[in-house]
Structure 1
Amino acid sequence: MNRILTLEEKAHVGISNNADVITRPVISYWRGAWIRFKENKIAIFALYSLILLIFFIIFGPVISNTNYTEIDAANRNISPNSVNWFGSDQLGRDLFSRIWIGARLSLIIALVCSMIQLLVGCAYGGIMAYFGGKVDSVMMRIIEIVTSFPSLLVTLLIMMVVGKNVAGLLVAMCITSWVGTARIVRGQIMQLRESEYVQASQMLGSSPFRIILKHLLPNTISLLILDLCSSIPDYIFTEASLSFLGMGLGGDIISLGVLISDGKTKMQFYPWQMFFPAVILVIAVLAFNLIGDGLRDALDPRNIR
């Protein structure tokens, strides 16, 4: 027997009193961004590729069950086989485990540099935009001075002074990279500082630090995510380029750039020593760039349907 539904029951099942009105669930900005990101097949493929790459970076040396520092003079420069999946180098060391150890260091360096860039850039740009006036003018002049020096020249000079080690490389790559993030944050916060919720917080006596940290910076998260996704592959490629040219890491430190640099001298006779680390580098950089492109489209408010 049919019965008439009450208003509460209609609301529960999503039926409107007006048959012409189509109701749909309310979707948050971040959930909508995730839905739009999933529709980008290339970005999803890049995300799965990156997850697989990170899996091998973490567990690759364990899977191969070989010591990446162990010298085996009887198996020098051997081609890929069932034991050494990527072959061995000039000292008989297993390339499979060495490549994943090197990729691990390259990724860690890129992540640390990106975090430093975001922290310094957010703090600097937030202070510039919030206080404005003379503070903004002076701090902007400092940015212009920093950007007037060629970043590659500054990096090389710092590496010469500090040395070819991880700490020196971190300082060299981060010394000028934060200015781009600072400009992004400054531009966004200058648009938001006149908002009503910011003025209300000022009327309630909130400190500038609290307003910047609680009200302004959270509204720049989407821009910072995009900046992070573009910075990580840049750092990976910069580290590899410096090491390839012999100006990056040195000694017994292993990175993708160091392995590629070692392999280039033997590429004519043992091409796999350069081929495999170069392929891993390309996959990592390409995956981050494709994910960044997908996030840019997904986080764009103009794409909201």
Structure 2
Amino acid sequence: MSQHEKEISKELFQPANIDASASEEISKPSLTYWQDAWLRVRKNTAAIISLVVLILLTILSLVGPFLNDYDYSTQTATHANLPPRVQGLEDISWLPFDGTLTKKNGEEYNAYELKNATEEYYWFGTDSLGRDIFTRVWKGTQVSLYIAVLAAVIDMIIGVAYGAISGYFGGKVDTVMQRIIEILVGIPNLVVVILMIIVLEPGIVSITIALTITGWVGMARVVRGQVLKFKNQEFVLASRTLGAGHSKIILKHLLPNLVGVIIINTMFTIPSAIFFEAFLSFIGLGLQDPLASLGTLIDSGFRTLRLYPYQMLFPAIVISLIMVCFNMIADGLRDALDPKMRD
């Protein structure tokens, strides 16, 4: 036997000891559907920033009217059309919060000194009736967020229930229910609002009724299409074979599989409802004075845009932030909940 053969040990040819239990270990923790969706949403920076901004706007809409000593409806004619002025910022020349206005010839003057209001501080300025715009902006934000919540509730209750029943039962029931939807779709929202104003008065009640009549139609169609796709699958047929009733099948088997679609469509409906209310208020069919909404504030600010642009600027920024935030959150939820978007 050669020297080379003596150096090779038989132990080198023995199979390795592999721990079978270690190969079966799951290194990554198992996640539920909602935990996985939340992780996907967290990766969407725009959606998270929009969520934070929306929470801050909601808090300001609740506490904003109480942050100063002015009421949203109190009129002070001697303080009309005052520019923004903020304590601590009025001495910084490059910030527009020093209470100065510019004449047509380019000359600047202090409006607060001119109207003997040097002791007053209107953070967003005042309107043509001397009302504090800061307080009115956050009161108007309350109305816009109310419309948003209202649209979401209507979609969740009426639209989901109507679409699920129509798609599940099918046949003549589906035909009749879809013809009703087609009739409602054929009636423009503006016509419905005008009819409500004729019967009632311009205001939040007429807008609420108009949204209740037609706002749920889109959701109903989406839910109906999804129910038609799911109702003949194996898990529904098995439940029906075991004797489950129609209501139990819809509530416990079909709707849980539609949660993602429902949330996504609801989030996209909310900014449309906010814009609808602002549009009605802008054309004079919304809230009436002294009540305020972002639409009415933009309308009154638009009339004096050239002389006092700040009266339109602040409500326009707030409503733009609200609509952009809702759209970005809806995009993030769509990417997180839509199965087609998964890796």
Segments of structure 2 that go 5 or more residues without pairing to the other structure are 1-18, 87-120
Give the aligned partner of residue 22 of structure 2: 17
Contact kept? 2:159, 2:218, Cα under 8 Å = yes
Contact 1:158 1:172 in 2 (8 A): yes
**What amino acid is the match of 2:80?**
R
Task: Answer yes or no: is 1:40 the counterpart of 2:78.
Answer: no
Using the TM superposition, give the Cα deviation of residue 41 of structure 1 relative to its aligned residue in structure 2, in angstroms: 1.0
What is the deviation of 1:122? 1.1
Range with greater deviation from structure 2 (247-256 or 259-268): 247-256
Query: Is the CA contact 1:159–1:172 (under 8 Å) kept in the aligned structure 2?
Result: no
Post-superposition offset of 1:68: 1.8
Give me the whole-angstrom Cα distance separating, in 1, the residues matched to 2:236 and 2:39.
31
What CA distance in whole angstroms lies between the structure 2 residues aligned with 1:210 and 1:123? 13
Q: Is residue 2:267 matched to residue 1:229?
A: yes
Greater Cα offset, 197-206 or 173-182: 197-206
2:257 — aligned with what?
219
- When the two structures are superposed, what TM-score results if normalisation uses the length of structure 1? 0.89
For structure 1, which segment, 269-278 or 155-164, has the greater mean C-alpha deviation from structure 2 after superposition? Answer: 155-164
2:154 paired with 1:154: no
Please give the per-residue CA displacement for 1:260-301, whole angstroms capped at 9, x wherever unaligned: 111111112111111111111101001101111111111122
Cα deviation for residue 196 of structure 1 reads 3.2
1:59 paired to 2:97 = no
* Structure 1: gaps of 5 or more residues: 1-9
1:86 and 2:86 correspond = no
1:278 aligns with 2:316: yes
Q: Does the CA-based 8 Å contact 2:280-2:295 persist in structure 1?
A: yes
Deviates more, 1:194-203 or 1:136-145: 194-203
Shift of 1:109: 2.0
The whole-number CA distance in structure 2 between the counterparts of 1:237 and 1:32 is: 32
Runs of 4+ that moved beyond 4 A: none
Q: TM-score, normalised by structure 2?
A: 0.80
Moved more, 202-211 or 176-185: 202-211
Given the alignment of the two structures, is residue 199 of structure 1 paired with residue 259 of structure 2, yes or no?
no
Instruction: Note the C-alpha offset of 1:73.
Output: 2.7
1:5 corresponds to which residue? none
Name whichever structure is richer in helix by fraction: 1
Partner amino acid, structure 2, of 1:168: S
SS at 1:249 equivalent: coil
- Partner letter of residue 115 of structure 1? V
RMSD between aligned alpha carbons? 2.1
CA distance in 2, matches of 1:32, 1:197: 23
Pairing 1:50–2:54 present:
yes
Higher Cα Rg, which structure: 2
Q: Residue type of the partner of 1:263?
A: G
Structure 1 stretch 65-74 or stretch 239-248: which is displaced more? 65-74
Q: Which residue does the alignment assign to 2:287?
A: 249
2:247 paired residue number: 209
